[in-house]
Amino acid sequence: MGASRSSRAAQKAKTRTALVEAARALLEAGQQPTLQEIADHAGISRATSYRYYSDLTVLYQEAALSGVVSGVEALKAEFAIARPEAWDEHIELLVVRIVDMMLAHEVLFRSYLHTHIIGEESKVRGKRRRDWLHEAVAPDLAFLPAELAERVLHSLSLLTGVETVIVARDVCDLDDSGIRDLCRWTTRAILKAALEDAGLNAGEHANPRAP
């Protein structure tokens, strides 16, 4: 009996994953697929798909979140292996990599933002970004006064959301290269302002994480 329940649960999880991956693939291809199109892509009947996702918006959300989480985890793994020593170089490279990730999965990020623009979940999404950034850059900002370090973190949070990509592309009419260069320049401006506010210069704290 227990084995049977376990088998059914595994099959349900497999079906759900197949639908999410199919939706993600179609969204990444720039489509706004119907449930029937997602079901066909996954090789699952529409009736079965509807039992799992009667609300197409929920399926879009899970597909977009899958892509976002995958991108962030890959980025974290990259920096766990190779992290620049200089604090400012690390932060600048981190921002550029985040922007590259958003550009590579822009359709998914836009879909995720659209489906979470209203409601409590949007607050959770934003908190995830802030918490991960804090984990990534806190060692680099340890030499700054706490309030100033927090301001840098807030500034980077503004810079590393898909909202920045949307404004840069839709309002400023920048291409991928232009968006990347703008975010790199803005990062340098933020860090320079932080040093100036702290009464320091770049040479004094080229590597605050060194023993």
Instruction: Please say whether the dihedral angle defined by the alpha carbons of residues 200, 203, 205 and 211, taken in this order, is positive or negative.
Output: negative
Task: Look at residue 203 in the predicted model and tell me its pLDDT.
Answer: 59
In this prediction, the residues of the chain whose per-residue pLDDT falls under 50 are 118-120, 122, 124, 207-208, 210-211
Write out pLDDT tens, residues 17-65.
999 999 988 888 878 889 999 999 999 999 999 999 988 888 887 887 7
Question: Cβ contacts of residue 190 below 8 Å, gap of 6+?
Answer: 152, 155, 156, 159
Backbone angles phi, psi at 72, to 5 degrees: -65, -45
Task: Look at residue 165 in the predicted model and tell me its pLDDT.
Answer: 95
Question: Is this prediction's pTM over 0.75?
Answer: no
What domains are there in the chain, each with its CATH number? 1-54 (1.10.10), 56-205 (1.10.357)
